[in-house]
Chain A
């Protein structure tokens, strides 16, 4: 069948679907959706629809990018705009089917927004929300809108039109078009794509290869996974165009094994292409032949480097080699080879479809078009975004990303994964493009953006990235193998409290050395995280080395927590006047079995509120501070208890105590916080009358609660004798 016929058919099927008399339900089932429970939602939809006897079309779509709100379900009723619902659970979807599909109540309280011309009262338009408004979607154009396993839906939305256009041009004209668009490699280095193709085109030889690099190894990056899972054909079409321009006959997709769903969807897509004459011999009757094979990675970060990747395809150890010769001259099997990243290929298909000028109208002078970023970390709206090059960093973090979670302070954005660097608060106005980020010491990289807040230690972050690079170093060249190890040794020393004066300078010197002498990109970029954290957070390093403290409270050896409670507990309990059993440690006293005994004994010997107040004081001091619920929760609980004990309490205090207690119980990382809050909750339930009596009588009815409690994490007697540096670190007195 000629392609025009296929397209006509695809469009009429798509139109019929759009004007279907049946309600349609779209469920986002990319990996992020699945991790949040999309498959359970899908099952619930099937069940509920058949229970109610409703006929509806269910489509599994990819990822629209709002990962923070997964699982996402869109419902389209005939003649109504499409409504997108977030955070859908099996219970919510059953309710939605009843309320909206059966009863026609669109439930604005559950909706994120509408998609389409018309709107519905009380529901904002999705693409006008701050999270979408600054975005321009080119490579993600179809993500979340079409079924990636249906080639016809892709064709109906302009798919393979770029290929048809390209095949009507000469290969040189295609290269010229890509050059005119200003597209630069999206894998990280930013080399002009058209130029790269030209080198390969001009290389002599009949046998040429083309590779799609889908070995997205940067931790914190998932753009390529989402793209491959959500709009597979956009990438494959780009590869066909590239192959035609270069004169390649065999293509490979090198995809990491950690992305099984992407591999599954690629396999489906390749079969469909063959079926429609888009793969194999004489593609669309043009005389152009091209085959694509999938190669699964085997878990080596360095294989994202092009020469290592080719070695891996050849079945060897994935170790890079020196360039030149560049792959364009001698690549896979020593033949001219062109490698581009997933996102680059998806942009190519859009450029050929809509034209170079249109593409170049986005972005800045030197960085044209758009870039996808994977937002992760301590940010409200984590997910996948695509923005024009040159957008200020702050717009990404605060507008699209919705700012930092939990009223914390922004500390830095880490771009480019382990190869990148950090961008502190004073660079929030920095336009994000290749040049500006490089100047700031970081890189655009493949597009991971990890946002960290005040609770992250930058020295520890540098140590983390260096440990990653050191682990993944292939070991071929000395600067990378030995140099990263040496840098890591120093960083480990600093985070363990053994830092020495001069370490910062040693780090800088080593980092420069590794950067300038390593064989491949892995070693050359590995020191970026150290250099930028020193550049922007030097005082944190100094604090670790000279002040022996970790300001963020992350590096355990440097956190001011030296509990001697094992020794002091019996003493303190007696001091405070309570004989609550013979417990030797607070932890033991707070274990599940003993809580009941403590409450019992407290009731008979004194005042429950006072015992809880006492134990909470100990707990607040003993909290190691690593997790927020325990650290801050116990402080807040203690404040409320002090109010009640001193006669400033109200019934609202009790409600707050229950609320905070439950939060601490549910979210604390270890049993300590959980047990402490359970003790509080137990007494609030079993002895509520005592609490109420304190409130009613403006203080303790038995006059017990008046005594202020003083509790030290270090035995007060010891600390009085010893010098403070070994002693008192946290003191709480009321």
Chain B
């Protein structure tokens, strides 16, 4: 872990307010924030693990368990809610058999609910990894999941 994180952490040496960007970079590298990584970060920044967990758990972005290969985010912002975003989430929950915050047993998918992606004009919206899909229907959601399942 030490060797793996060293190049990620190095650019932040001596920088003020580096904790959140460091957590983001480490999560980008590993996919989540395992305990060993937190301990490495604590040593590097000279903070206690407690302080780091205090900050990391405040923000919705950080994960402490291994994530699936694909992250499916279903928007539950107000525009998506009015346009039936709840049904999209229900469908995805049903198809994957997991709740928001969960990961499928085969580590293929993780599911998240997000408050807004800012593509409200194309509501309801679903995001798989970094691709935004607008004007979703339950059928289109199923189709997207099936396509990512096949890969």
Contacts and interface: CB of A to CB of B under 8 A. Distances in A.
A217 B77 CA distance: 10
A35 B78 contact: no
A217 to B, nearest CB: 7
Contacts of A333: 16
B42 interface: no
Nearest to A475: B58
B73 to A, nearest CB: 9
A669 B91 CA distance: 10
Contacts of A384: 121
A295 B21 contact: yes
A434 interface: no
Interface stretch (A307-315, A357-365, A477-485): A307-315
Contacts of B84: 627, 669
Interface in B65-102: 76-84, 87
A375 B78 CA distance: 12
A-side interface size class? 35 or more
B122 A36 contact: yes
Contact of A219 (B55, B78, B83, B130): B78
A32 B119 contact: yes
B32 interface: no
Contact of B116 (A36, A258, A300): A258
B19 interface: yes
A465 B77 CA distance: 9
B145 interface: no
Contact of B82 (A221, A450, A627): A450
A38 B133 CA distance: 11
A456 B21 CA distance: 40
A298 B16 contact: no
Contacts of A224: 118
A325 interface: no
Interface string B18-61: 11110110000000000000000000000000000011001111
Most buried by A among B19, B80, B114, B123: B123
A691 interface: no
A221 B118 contact: yes
Contacts of B21: 295-296
B77 A219 contact: yes
Given A31-B132, A35-B122, A258-B116, A296 B82 contact: no
A311 to B, nearest CB: 10
Contact of B78 (A226, A317, A450, A667): A450
Contact of B79 (A70, A219, A468): A219
A377 B79 contact: yes
A315 B80 CA distance: 31
Most buried by B among A298, A448, A667: A298
A448 B77 CA distance: 11
Chain A interface, DSSP helix/strand/loop, else mixed: mixed
B134 A32 contact: yes
A114 interface: no
A298 B24 contact: yes
A669 B138 contact: yes
B83 A317 contact: no
A376 B125 contact: no
B79 A216 contact: no
B132 A382 contact: no
B5 interface: no
Interface string A452-488: 1000100001001100100010100000000000000
Interface of A: 31-32, 34-36, 67-68, 70, 216-222, 224-226, 257-260, 295-296, 298-301, 312-319, 333, 374-378, 382-384, 414, 417-418, 448, 450, 452, 456, 461, 464-465, 468, 472, 474, 627, 667, 669-670
Given A298-B61, A474-B58, 8 more contacts: A32-B121, A35-B133, A219-B79, A224-B118, A298-B60, A312-B20, A374-B120, A374-B121
25 contacts: A32-B122, A70-B134, A219-B76, A219-B79, A222-B120, A222-B121, A257-B61, A258-B114, A258-B118, A298-B20, A298-B24, A298-B59, A314-B17, A317-B54, A374-B120, A375-B121, A376-B78, A377-B83, A377-B123, A382-B120, A384-B121, A414-B78, A418-B78, A474-B58, A669-B138
